[in-house]
Amino acid sequence: MNKIFIHEVGMRDGLQVEQQIVPTQTKINWIKELMETGVDIIQVGSFVHPVKVPTMADTDELFKYFSKPENKKSNTILAGLVLNEKGLERGMEAGVEMFCMGVSASETHSKKNTGMTTDEALERIIPMAKNAKAAGKEVQVSVQSAFGCSFEGEIPRERVFNIVEKYLQNGILNISLADTAGHANPIQVEDIIASIYSMNPDAKLSCHFHDTYGLGIANCFMAFKHGVKYFESAFAGLGGCPFTAKASGNVCTEDLVNMFNRFDLRKDIDLKKIVGIAKKAEALFGRELPGKILKVGLLEY
């Protein structure tokens, strides 16, 4: 049986675009509940400037809380996103277990998101990744806008492969392909993933899809069929990048886990508990959220 790993990004990617600030204690409660569901990785927050992304202003506090053994009674890995050396320094101090960092294949998105070109970002991210690994931390690097950009449109696949090749050349195999704008389609996913595995079959690929055009789950299925084992998703389908033209929600964790359940995979994950967290988010934000299982309930027979 293939082992599938669920990387829950709702606490970071899910909340970063919201106008409403979620209280820190509520975040703590949700993270504890997410750990109890059995997901493998939880992306707690991002170490960004609190003025630019106020919803992430308590990220340091959250990590410091969960760095105390009495507050984390789970093997779930707690991850944090960093954009630069200052963020890495903060994350190290706060007790991040896994660092997520990356660059965008879109020059426009890269400049809006980080203030750097793709090449400039690469020159900083690769040494950061090496430093984090040398400190004994798990590291995942990403290619953002890997399947298209809401500013530039189609992204030449060579741009994606050039970034991936530089990661691989530097011994960084844990690579996430992020569909930041939600433009991916299953045939494109098949092509890019197969090409990367041909570059290095030992690459440890993750996929991060947004559901802008309703193809998120289909893209996850295609990635799964071609050997990807790591999937990033957000409870209730929350999220979106605040520095893209059209922010849209992530693939919904409940719906993704439900799909794998139908394949007799990851039945150890407590899907009902994830739905419960999604309902709490729906109540807090006061609007209907996009998850299918959230709306119709579980299929039980």
Q: What is the pLDDT of residues 290-301, one digit of tens each?
A: 999 998 988 876
Percent of the chain exceeding pLDDT 70 equals 96
What local confidence, expressed as pLDDT, does residue 240 receive?
A: 63
| Residue 27: inside a domain | yes
Percent of the chain exceeding pLDDT 90 equals 87
What local confidence, expressed as pLDDT, does residue 7 receive?
A: 98
Q: What is the pLDDT of residues 147-174, one digit of tens each?
A: 999 888 999 999 999 999 999 999 999 9
Q: What is the pLDDT of residues 235-268, one digit of tens each?
A: 999 986 555 545 568 999 999 999 999 999 999 9
Alpha-carbon distance 83 to 204, whole Å?
Answer: 21
Q: How many domains does the chain have?
A: 1
- Quick one: CA torsion of 109, 233, 134, 48, rounded to 10 degrees? 50
What local confidence, expressed as pLDDT, does residue 244 receive?
A: 52
| Residue 48: inside a domain | yes
What local confidence, expressed as pLDDT, does residue 1 receive?
A: 45
Q: Catalytic: which of 149, 220, 241, 252? A: 241
Output the domain CATH number for residue 207. Answer: 3.20.20.70
What number is the average pLDDT over the span 121-137? 97
Q: What is the pLDDT of residues 220-234, one digit of tens each?
A: 999 999 999 999 999
| Residue 132: inside a domain | yes
What number is the average pLDDT over the span 212-219? 95
| Residue 261: inside a domain | yes
| pLDDT classification of 39: cutoffs 50, 70, 90 | very high
Q: What is the pLDDT of residues 18-34, one digit of tens each?
A: 999 999 999 999 999 99
Domain limits at 188? 5-296
Based on the residue annotation, tell me whether 241 is a catalytic residue of this protein.
yes
What local confidence, expressed as pLDDT, does residue 239 receive?
A: 84
User: What average pLDDT does the chain have?
Assistant: 94
| Residue 301: inside a domain | no
Structure tokens belonging to residue 250: 């992530």
Q: What is the pLDDT of residues 51-76, one digit of tens each?
A: 989 999 999 999 999 999 999 999 99
Check whether 193 has a pLDDT greater than 80: yes
| Residue 108: inside a domain | yes
What local confidence, expressed as pLDDT, does residue 249 receive?
A: 85
Check whether 113 has a pLDDT greater than 90: no
| Residue 53: inside a domain | yes
What local confidence, expressed as pLDDT, does residue 114 receive?
A: 84
What number is the average pLDDT over the span 83-96? 97
